[in-house]
Amino acid sequence: MAKTKVIAVANQKGGVGKSTTVYNLGAGLALNGKKVLLVDVDPQGDLTKMLGQRKPHDLPLTLANCMNDVVAGVGGNEHPEIMHHHEGFDFVPGNRSLSAVEIGLVNVMSRETVLRQYIDSVKRDYDYVLLDCRPSLGMLVINALAASDHVLIPVQADYLAAEDMTELLGTVRQVKRQINPKLQVGGIFLTMANETNFRKDIVATVKENYGKHFPVLQTVIPATVRLAEISTADKSIFKHEPNGKAAQAYGSLVKEVQSIGEKQRSKPSDISR
C-alpha cells in the first residue's frame, strides 16, 4: 500500500470554506476509490455536523477522548471513535471538548505532537487523512500541522483575505523548522469566487504575492448557494448537484490534491525562507 498522505486544511480566518473543502475532498477521493479518513480538529464541530452528526457535543467518543488517551499513555488497537459515512469514507468527530484539550496541552510533554501520535495509530488503513483545522493559530492547529505531510490553504477570493496569509505561512515555516521537517505547503487555492469580484485579478495577486515560494493551485471554488446547502443536506456536492460548477471545481481540486506528492518530489515548495 502506498504511503498515507496526511493533509491539513488550515486558515486562521473563519468562513473560508475549510470544512466544506474537507468534506468534498474526502467524498471526491472516495469516489476515486481511495480510502479516506476525515478528522474534525475544530471544537465547533462544523464538519461533524455536516457529516450527519447534528449534536456533536452529545457524542460519547470524539477526537478529544483520543488525544486525552495519548496524553495519558493509554489506548489500544481498536478505534470505536471512527465513524463511517454513507459516501464511502470514515471520520473522527470533533466537539467542544477539544477546547479543554487545547488548554490542557499547555502543561503536556511533547504537546505539539499529541495529535500526530494519534494519527500515526490509525493512518495505516487509509490512503488519505484530511484534518479540518479550527480558525486560529493555536495549539490544535500546531498539532495538525505537526501531524501533516502537506497543508492546503483555502483563501476567500477578495484582496484583503489574499493578503492576510503572512501570519499563517509564518506559522507553517516555524512548525517545519522546529517540529515537522517534512511539512510542505500543498497549495493555496481560492474559494467563494464569483464573477463580480475581479476573480482573475485576485488570482493574479495571489500568484504574484505567494507564487514564487508556494504552489498556487489552478482550481477556483465558485461562490454558490449549493455549497452552503450541503451543510444541512448530509451529502457532498458530488451527490447534491453532481453536474454543477461547484462539483466540477471540487473534482478538479481532488485531481490536484492527488498529484501533490508527485509534483513536490521534483520541485519542493520553499517554506524554509
The fraction of the chain above a pLDDT of 90, given in percent, is: 71
Q: What is the mean pLDDT of residues 76-92?
A: 94
What SS3 state is found at 208? helix
Query: Could you tell me the pLDDT band of residue 163, with boundaries at 50, 70 and 90?
Result: low
And the C-alpha cell for 79? 478505534
Q: Which domains does the chain have, with CATH numbers?
A: 5-264 (3.40.50.300)
d(CA 179, CA 172): 10
Residue 271 has pLDDT above 70, yes or no: no
For the chain, how far is it from start to end, CA to CA, in angstroms?
34
Residue 268 has pLDDT above 80, yes or no: no
Q: What is the mean pLDDT of residues 57-74?
A: 95
| Residue among 118, 148, 111, 113 nearest 133 (CA) | 148
Q: What is the average pLDDT value for the chain, to the nearest integer?
A: 90
Q: Bigger pLDDT: 269 or 36?
A: 36
Residue 178 has pLDDT above 90, yes or no: yes
Residue 266 has pLDDT above 50, yes or no: no
pLDDT digits (tens, 9 = 90+) for 182-238: 999 999 998 988 766 556 777 777 778 788 888 989 899 998 899 999 988 889 999
d(CA 218, CA 190): 9
Query: Could you tell me the pLDDT band of residue 267, with boundaries at 50, 70 and 90?
Result: very low
What is the model's pTM?
A: 0.93
Q: Bigger pLDDT: 74 or 198?
A: 74
Which residues are within 8 A (CB) of 210 and not within 5 positions of it... i.e. 6 or more apart? 165, 169, 188, 216
And the C-alpha cell for 179? 517540529
Q: Classify burial at 142, counting beta carbons within 10 Å of its beta carbon; exposed 0-12, middle 13-18, buried 19 or more.
A: buried
pLDDT digits (tens, 9 = 90+) for 98-142: 999 999 998 898 999 999 999 999 999 999 999 999 999 999 999
The predicted pLDDT at position 252 comes to 96
Amino acid at 209: N
d(CA 47, CA 41): 9
The predicted pLDDT at position 196 comes to 61
Angle between helices 97-104 and 63-72 (to 10 degrees): 30
| Residue among 181, 186, 6 nearest 92 (CA) | 6
The predicted pLDDT at position 2 comes to 75
Residue 263 has pLDDT above 60, yes or no: no
Residue 161 has pLDDT above 70, yes or no: no
Q: Which residue has the cell 476525515?
A: 38
Q: What is the mean pLDDT of residues 80-101?
A: 97
Q: What is the mean pLDDT of residues 167-191?
A: 94
